[in-house]
Amino acid sequence: MQTPVEKLTPYDEFNFEVPEHEFPKSGVSARAAAAIVISDEWTDTNPMLNMSSFVTTFAEPEAAETARRNIFKNYIDHDMYPQLFAMETRMVRWLHQLWHGPKGVEVYGTATVGSSEACMLAGLAHKWNWRQKREREGKDGSRPNLVTGGNVQIVWKKFMRYFDVEPRIVPLKPGNYRLTAEHLERYVDENTIAVVAIAGQTFTGEDDDIQEIHDWLDAYEKRTGISIPMHIDGASGGFVNPFLYPDYKWDFRLPRVQSINASGHKYGLTPPGLGWVVFRERKIFNEDLVFYVNYLGGEMPTATLNFSRNGFQIAVQYYQFLRLGFDGYKRVMQHTLNNAITLRKKLVDSGYFTIMNETQRIPVVAVTLDSKIKNFNEFDVSNKVREKGWVLSAYSMPPAAEKVMSLRVVVRPHINHNVACLLGNDIVSACQYLEKHGGSAKPPELHAHADEKTSPAKC
Ligand SMILES: *Cc1c(COP(=O)(O)O)cnc(C)c1O
Task: Check residue 451 and give its pLDDT.
Answer: 46
pLDDT in tens, 30-61: 999 999 999 999 999 999 999 999 999 999 99
Residue 187, CA atoms < 13 Å, CB-side half-sphere? 26
43 by Cβ neighbours in 10 Å (0-12 / 13-18 / 19+) ranks as: exposed
With the most atoms of ligand 1 within 8 angstroms of its CB, the residue from 50, 54, 116 to mutate is 116
pLDDT in tens, 59-95: 999 999 999 999 999 999 888 999 999 999 999 999 9
Please report the atom of ligand 1 found closest to the CA of residue 54. Answer: 1
pLDDT in tens, 11-25: 777 777 899 999 998
Q: Which CATH number belongs to the domain containing residue 223 in this structure?
A: 3.40.640.10
Q: Is residue 413 part of a domain?
A: no
pLDDT in tens, 212-226: 999 999 999 999 999
Nearest CA to ligand 1 atom 5: 115
Q: How far apart are CA 92 and CA 274, in angstroms?
A: 13
Instruction: Using the mean position of ligand 1's atoms as its centre, give its distance from the Cα of residue 115 in Å.
Output: 5
Q: Is residue 159 part of a domain?
A: yes
pLDDT in tens, 386-443: 999 999 999 999 999 999 999 999 999 999 999 999 999 999 999 999 999 999 877 7
Q: Is residue 219 part of a domain?
A: yes
Instruction: Using the mean position of ligand 1's atoms as its centre, give its distance from the Cα of residue 304 in Å.
Output: 17
Q: Is residue 338 part of a domain?
A: no
Please report the atom of ligand 1 found closest to the CA of residue 234. Answer: 13
Instruction: Using the mean position of ligand 1's atoms as its centre, give its distance from the Cα of residue 265 in Å.
Output: 10
Q: Is residue 291 part of a domain?
A: yes
Considering its fold, how many domains does the chain have in total?
Answer: 1
| CA 17 to centroid of chain Cα atoms | 38
First-residue to last-residue Cα distance in the chain: 14
Q: Is residue 70 part of a domain?
A: yes
Please report the atom of ligand 1 found closest to the CA of residue 119. Answer: 10
- Write out residues with Cβ below 6 Å of ligand 1: 54, 114-116, 119, 153, 155, 198, 201-202, 233, 235-236, 263, 275
Q: Is residue 71 part of a domain?
A: yes
Q: Is residue 43 part of a domain?
A: no
pTM of the model as a whole: 0.94
Parent domain of 89: 64-320
Please report the atom of ligand 1 found closest to the CA of residue 118. Answer: 9
Distances 32 to 18, 41, 59, 137 between C-alpha atoms, Å: 12, 14, 28, 67
Dihedral pair phi/psi, residue 153, rounded to 5°? -75, 150
